[in-house]
């Protein structure tokens, strides 16, 4: 491979590699690769040795730009004191380290005799770590100790080769000498941490975190008077306080990042399981849902059902995009605020509900100045508190946006979750006499098209759709292409989140009951439907659900949201 042209051929005699004690210092280069794989990205480690000390660094490939938060990581080993140090270098004045003892991981080796590897006479050892078979070849011919893998630093000699499960290989490729001594372990390693703390620093600095809401209250009885000059980080209340908004600037990230929304909630006085939603308001059309919030729900487009009821702001048209849902979640029954009300043997109540959901596929639409909202339907003065983070986890060390060949095409087309419930937006209860009908246009060049679909049924009495499975039909251009019955039968798993859920005579709690696509204290997972067969142009989608009839003052409703997601080449979008 072209990477190896700078190295000596590995099959040279071992004597040409070994300089023993006559040499002041040595540099060893190791290659990591998968055995039997012809085309692959390999990586290299550089080990420097002097006076029975070594440093180990990974040689990152030539990258035009690296991701934010990437540390220069160095491991040091002092073979005289049998102590090692793991160090993270972020800047001249920001270094952290943790110390460890060689052999402290209690690895037991089995000696398997001698073998010659790349001209070196080696002792062969084997061991097992976490059910992985490890084979190691170590030579004492050179009279020095060196390894690229600190966990095996207690083995005397030079590690020539390492193989895990017969496939993953780390192999010595080159030794060179230097005529002068070099400092291996610096006098000042930085701020000392435990190994766990060091691992957390390294990981957390590479994670890009956007704090959206920070212990903010969603409750009935407050509205923020919005002004155009309100700063980006202001939290704005609408719909009587049951919906909060915030503008935030989000950077465009390379496609290798994996994006998650993390939500923490707890009760501040509301005892019930409530519908909640985290969403983005698209603002690149003539009208947006922000108009509904600032001017009233009647100011945005909508449709009439067969019974004459108006349903505003729920479907796409040529001038309007509905809100794009990130998470549909449901609060538990009074977690934290009511934890002292009921004590049940064997159950310790949680202090919050925690939801973590991947949103990588719809994150590309959230670049620039983004308006993010959170809704919890309630009429309680205490309500709930929420903390929301969007976190981006890198999948590569490289930051290379310009050379990416494709980009996402994302279009929210419907959302019947009535997040302005407390400001006049109708409950989506039209499915008993009607269907949800939406037209949309697919541009030229869209590939891998799919529908991200969330559906939950509501109607909290015995005959209501909350407790009765109902088939959702997805009809494209007049043809039923998918059927889906949203249902959760694992709600009893989350009993510790529901301190004031009703407990019945037979030992079952109301929070244990199976429901139409949700449980108290959980997030509803999106379902994906393949629409790659659709050609460019205009299409119609219909969502049909056999919603149950109302009984007295009780009625059923269905909150469904749909986002189209596809890919296109960047050249096609220009």
Domain 207-569, CATH homologous superfamily name and number? Peptide-N-glycosidase F, N-terminal domain (2.60.120.1570)
Q: Which of 161, 159, 167 is nearest to 40 (CA)?
A: 167
Structure-token match 């030539």, residue found: 62
Q: Residue 43: its pLDDT value, please? A: 87
Buried b / exposed e along 500-513 (16+ C-beta atoms within 10 A):
bbeeeeeeebbbbb
pLDDT of residue 64: 75
Cα 481 from Cα 477, distance rounded (Å): 9
112-158 pLDDT per residue, tens: 999 999 999 999 999 999 999 999 999 999 999 999 999 999 999 99
C-beta separation of 4 from 19 below 8 A: no
| 446 three-state secondary structure | coil
Domain 2-202 has CATH 1.25.40: no
Name the maximum alpha-carbon separation found in the chain: 96
Show the 3-state SS of 109-123: CEEEEEEEECCEEEE
What pLDDT was estimated at residue 18? Answer: 58
DSSP, residue by residue, 120-186 = EEEEEEEEEETTEEEEEEEE-TTS--B-S-GGGTTS-SEEEEEEETTTEEEEEEEEEEESS----S-
For residue 360, the model assigns a pLDDT of 98
Residue 13: what pLDDT? 36
pLDDT score at 8: 38
Which single residue is written with the structure tokens 């969403």? 279
Please give the Cα distance from 141 to 247 (Å, whole number): 65
Burial class (CB in 10 A: 0-12, 13-18, 19+), 393: middle
What would the two tokens of residue 462 be? 């015995």
Each of the 574 residues of the chain gets a pLDDT tens digit; together they read 333 333 333 444 344 445 444 457 999 999 999 988 876 767 899 999 999 999 999 876 666 789 999 999 999 999 999 999 999 999 888 999 999 999 766 789 999 999 999 999 999 999 999 999 999 999 999 999 999 999 999 999 999 999 999 999 999 999 998 878 889 999 999 999 999 999 999 999 999 999 999 999 999 998 777 776 777 788 999 999 999 999 999 999 999 999 999 999 999 999 999 999 999 999 989 999 999 999 999 999 999 999 999 999 999 999 999 999 999 999 999 999 999 999 999 999 999 999 999 999 999 999 999 999 999 999 999 999 999 999 999 999 999 888 888 999 999 999 999 999 999 999 999 999 999 999 999 999 999 999 999 999 999 999 999 999 999 999 999 999 999 999 999 999 999 999 999 988 888 999 999 999 999 999 999 999 999 999 999 999 999 999 999 999 999 999 999 999 999 987 655 5
Residue spans per domain, the chain: 2-202, 207-569
Q: Is the Cβ–Cβ distance between 554 and 462 less than 8 Å?
A: no
Q: Are 341 and 243 in contact (CB under 8 A)?
A: no
End-to-end CA distance of the chain: 37
Is the whole-model pTM more than 0.85? Answer: yes
CA atoms of 89 and 97, how far apart (whole Å): 9
List residues bridging with 414 in a β-sheet: 315, 562
Burial of 149: CB neighbours in 10 Å, binned 0-12, 13-18, 19+:
middle
C-alpha pair distances (Å), 394 with each of 38, 206, 358, 429 = 26, 7, 14, 42
Residue 179: the pLDDT is 79
Q: Is 21 exposed, middle or buried (0-12, 13-18, 19+ CB in 10 A)?
A: exposed
What are 287's strand-pairing partners? Answer: 320
């Amino acid at each position: 491979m072209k990477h190896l042209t700078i190295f000596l051929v590995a099959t040279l005699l071992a004597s040409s590699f070994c300089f023993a004690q006559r040499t002041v210092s040595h540099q060893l280069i190791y290659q990591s690769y998968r055995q039997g794989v012809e085309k692959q990205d390999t990586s290299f480690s550089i080990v420097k040795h002097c006076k029975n000390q070594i440093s180990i660094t990974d040689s990152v490939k030539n990258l035009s730009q690296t991701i934010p938060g990437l540390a220069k990581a160095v491991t040091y080993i002092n073979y005289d004191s049998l102590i090692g140090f793991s160090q993270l270098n972020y800047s001249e004045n920001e270094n952290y380290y943790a110390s460890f003892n060689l052999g402290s991981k209690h690895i037991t080796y089995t000696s398997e005799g001698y073998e010659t590897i790349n001209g070196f006479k080696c002792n062969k050892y084997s061991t097992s770590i976490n059910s992985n078979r490890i084979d190691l070849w170590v030579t004492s011919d050179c009279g020095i100790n060196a390894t690229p893998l600190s966990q095996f630093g207690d083995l005397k000699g030079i590690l020539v080769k390492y193989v895990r499960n017969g496939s993953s290989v780390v192999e010595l490729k080159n030794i060179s000498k230097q005529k002068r001594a070099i400092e291996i372990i610096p006098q000042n390693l930085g701020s000392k941490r435990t190994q766990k703390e060091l691992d957390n620093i390294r990981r957390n600095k590479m994670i890009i975190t956007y704090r959206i809401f920070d212990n903010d209250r969603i409750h009935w009885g407050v509205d923020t008077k919005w002004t155009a000059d309100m700063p980006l980080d202001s939290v704005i209340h609408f719909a009587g306080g049951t919906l909060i908004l915030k503008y935030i600037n989000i950077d465009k990230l390379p496609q290798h990042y994996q994006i998650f929304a993390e939500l923490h909630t707890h009760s501040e006085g509301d005892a019930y399981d409530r519908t909640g939603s985290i969403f983005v308001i698209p603002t690149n059309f003539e009208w947006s849902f922000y108009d509904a919030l600032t001017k009233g729900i009647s100011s945005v487009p909508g449709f009439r059902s067969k019974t004459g009821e108006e349903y505003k702001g729920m479907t796409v048209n040529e001038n309007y995009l509905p809100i794009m849902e990130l998470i549909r979640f449901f609060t538990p029954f009074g977690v934290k605020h009511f934890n002292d009300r009921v004590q049940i043997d064997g159950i310790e109540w949680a202090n919050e509900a925690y939801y973590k959901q991947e949103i990588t596929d719809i994150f590309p639409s959230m670049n620039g100045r983004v308006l993010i909202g959170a809704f919890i339907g309630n009429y309680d003065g205490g309500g709930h508190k929420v903390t929301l983070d969007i976190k981006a986890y890198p999948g590569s060390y490289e930051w290379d946006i310009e050379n990416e060949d494709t980009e996402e095409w994302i279009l929210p087309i419907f959302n019947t979750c009535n997040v302005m419930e407390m400001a006049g937006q109708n409950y989506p209860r039209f499915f008993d006499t009607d269907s949800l009908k939406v037209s949309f246009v697919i541009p030229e060049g869209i590939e891998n098209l799919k529908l991200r679909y969330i559906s939950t049924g509501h109607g909290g009495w015995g005959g209501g759709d909350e407790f009765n499975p109902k088939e959702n039909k997805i009809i494209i251009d007049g043809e039923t292409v998918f059927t889906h019955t949203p249902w959760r039968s694992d709600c009893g798993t989350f009993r510790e989140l529901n301190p004031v859920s009703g407990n019945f005579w037979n030992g079952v709690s109301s929070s244990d009951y199976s429901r139409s696509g949700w449980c108290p204290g959980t997030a509803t997972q999106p379902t994906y439907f393949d629409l790659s067969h659709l050609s460019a142009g205009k299409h119609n989608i219909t969502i049909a659900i056999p919603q149950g009839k109302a009984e007295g003052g009780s009625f059923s409703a269905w909150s469904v949201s749909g986002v189209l997601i596809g890919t296109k080449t960047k050249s096609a979008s220009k």
